[in-house]
A and B are shown apart, each in its own frame.
Chain A
Amino acid sequence: MSKRTQSLVLPLLAVITGLILGGIIMWVSGYKPINAYVALFQGAFGNSVFIANTIAGAIPLILTSLGIAIAFRTGLFNIGAEGQYWIGAMVGTWIGYNFPHLPWYIHIPFALIGAMVAGGIWGGLIPGLAKAFVGAHEVITTMMMSYIAILIGHFMLERGPMMAPGYNPQSPLVTMSATLPTLVSNSNLSAGIFIAMVAIIVVYLLLFHTTFGYRLRTVGHNPMAAKYAGMNVPLFTIYSLGLSGVLAGLGGAVQIMGVDHQLTDTFSSGYGYTAIVVSLLARNNPIAIFFASVFFSALSTGSQVMQINSGVSPNMTDVITGVIIFFVATDKLYSYFRGKFRRSSKAQSEQKGVSVS
C-alpha cells in the first residue's frame, strides 16, 4: 500500500473494526446489533432535524480537533484541550452576559476573541513555556491544566462569581447580542458552522501554504534539523500549543453562543477527548477532520435513538470509540501480521527447499 492509500484505508479499517467489536459486545449481551446500528443511523441522519443536530455536534469537535492537529503536526500532544475548551466557554459566557448594550457585530467578535485569547494562554503560555524552557512534558502539563480549568469552572458556578440567582449551578444566559443565530429551527445547528468551516480553511492554508506552517511542521518532523536550520524551536512550541488552545477556546465559546447559551456544571461531555480521537483518525488533515467530526457526532447524536429503539445504553459509543483509537494507535498491526505471514511462508519455502535438495 502506498502511504496515501494507507492513510485512508487504515482509519477506515479502525472504524469498521470498532463497529464490529461493538456489535459483538452487544450481541453477547443479548442485543440485536444490526437493529441497534440501524437505529443509530436513523438517530443521526433520519430527518432534517437529526442531520442538523449531527452537524451541530460536529462544530465544537471540528474547532477543537483542528487545534489538536496543529499541535500533533508540531510533534506535540495537547491532551488538555478539554480544559481549554472549558476556559473558552467560561470567558465566552462571561463576556456574553456582561455587556448587554453592545451591538451584536461587536459583542460576538468580542466574546469569541476573548475566549480564543484565554484558551491560548491556558494551552499555550503555561504548558508551552514549561516545555520550551524546562522540558516539562506537555502531555502532563496540559492534562493538569485541563483539570484545573474544569475545577475553576465548577467553582465559578457552584456558589461562585458566575452563578445565576437561584440554586442551580448555572450561569446567567448570554444576551441576544452574543447569540449565534440558529439555522434550522428546532435544532442545535447555529451559524457556528460557518466559523468551523472558515477555521478548516484557515488552518489548512496556514499549515500547508505558509512559511509559518512549513516551519511548524518541520519542528514536528525533526526538531534537531529545525534547530540547525536556525528555527527557534521553543518559540514554535509555544506558538503551536498556543494556537491549539486558541482553537479549543473558540470551540467552547461557539458551543455556548450557538447551543447552550449558558454555562452549566455538565457543560462538556468530554469533547476535548473526542477531539483527540478525531485528529488521530483524520491523521491531522484539516479536511478529513470535518468528516471524522461528523462521524463521532453522529455516534453520539444517534445513540439517543439507539437507546430508545433497541435498549442499548448510549455508553456503547464510548466502547466503539475506544476500540477505534486502539486500532488507530496500533496501525502497525497490519505490517506486523504481514511480516509474520511472510516470515512463516519464507520459513516454509526454505524447508521445502531443503527437502527438494
Chain B
Amino acid sequence: MQSELPFNPAPSTVVHIDINSCFATIEQQARPYLRGKPLAVAAYDTPNGVILAPSIEAKRYGIKTGMRVREGRERFPGLIVRTPDALMYRYVHHRFREILGEYTPEVFPKSIDEFVLYVRGTVDIRATAREIKERIRRDVGEWIWTSAGIGPTRFTAKVAAGMKKPDGLTEINHKNFLAQYGRLELLDLHGINLHLQRRLWRAGITTPLAMYRASLQTLKVAFNSVVAHYWYSRLRGWEVDDVEFARRSYGNSYSLPRPLGAPEELTPVLAKLVNKMAFRMRKAGYQAAGVYLSLSYKNGAYFNRQRTLPEALFDTRDIYKAAVKILKMSPYNAPVKKLAVGCFNLRKASGLQLELFEPTGKKFRAMEAFDRANDRWGDFVITTGTMLETEDYVPDRIAFGSPLVA
C-alpha cells in the first residue's frame, strides 16, 4: 500500500564524500609504483595482521577489510602489504577539510575518510559535487578517488555515495528515488545489518523498494520499536539523522604485537592508552566519573570490569590509577593479547568541584599546560612517567582529530 507521507520534494542539499579504499589509495598516491596493484594496508605485515584497507585492485580478488593478511594472500599470493602511515593519512584528511571548507562552512567529518557537507543555495549541486571531486584530484592527488552521494538528507546522500565505487557521483531525490531504491539490496541501506535484515524478511520485506512501500504499521511490526518511525521518514527523504549525539564515552584499545603477561609489561601500555584517551577527553572539554577496562587473554579468557567513581576525573594520572585498580581485579594470570580502556559518565569540565585535600585548580592548570604542549609539538612530547618503556608498543594509529601541522 502506498504510504501517506510523500517523498520529500525539496531539492538536494547534502553531499556525502567518501574516499575510496582510503589508506590504500593514499599509499598509491604517494608511491606511484603501487598503483594498479593489489595492495593492503594492515595493522601488521605479519600473517595474522588485520587488513585495514584493501586497494580497489585487491578488492577485485575478494580481499576485504577485517581479513587477516594470511587470508588475503590466500586469495592473491602477490598481495603487497604495508603498515599504516598515520601522519600521512591524517594530513590528507586535513587537506580534504580545507578544500571542502571552501565550498561550505557546514562540513562534518564522519570519519577519517567520510565527510558530510551541507551545500545550500547552489544552482546545481551536482556541478558543485563534480567540481569538488575534480578539485581533490587536482590539489591532493590524481589517484585519490572519491565517491560522492547527493540527497535531501544525510541518509540518502550516504546511500547514494555507496552506489557507485570507485569514482561515483550519484543522487537520490524525489524524482528518481524509486529507480535508485530498485537497484539496492536491504544491506545497502546504511543502518540495516544482518539482524535487522532478518527482522524485515520475517515481515515479508525483502527489498528497499518493498520497505519503502510498506506501511508504518508493517514497519512497526518488523522493528517493534520507535526506529520504525525513523525508517519510515528516512526512506521518504525526510531528515532524522542530523542529530550530533552527545559523546558518552572515550576509549582506546590495542592488540599487542606479542602477548604480555607480567604487570610491569602491561602497565606502561595501559598508561599510553590512558594518556591518549584522557588527552582526547580533555580536549573535548570533558571529565569522567567512570573507568572501564577490558582484557582478552591468549587462552581465550576475557575480563571486563567498570568502576563508577565518587568524583569526576580529568588528570591522566588519576584515570590511570583507577584503571590499574581494575587491572588488579582480574582473576586471570595469563598473557594478554588485547586490552581496551575507556572512561564514561562524562561531564562537562566547567565548574570543577574543589576537593578538600587536593589542589584541583593547580592540577587542572598543569593538565592544560600538558595538553597544550602535546597539541602543539606532537603526541607524547610530555608524558606521565608511567609510560616509560612503551616506545615499542602502541604505535600511532589512525585518528583524524588533531592536525599535528602548524
A, B from the same assembly: no
Which residues of chain A have a CB within 8 Å of any CB of chain B? none
Which residues of chain B have a CB within 8 Å of any CB of chain A? none
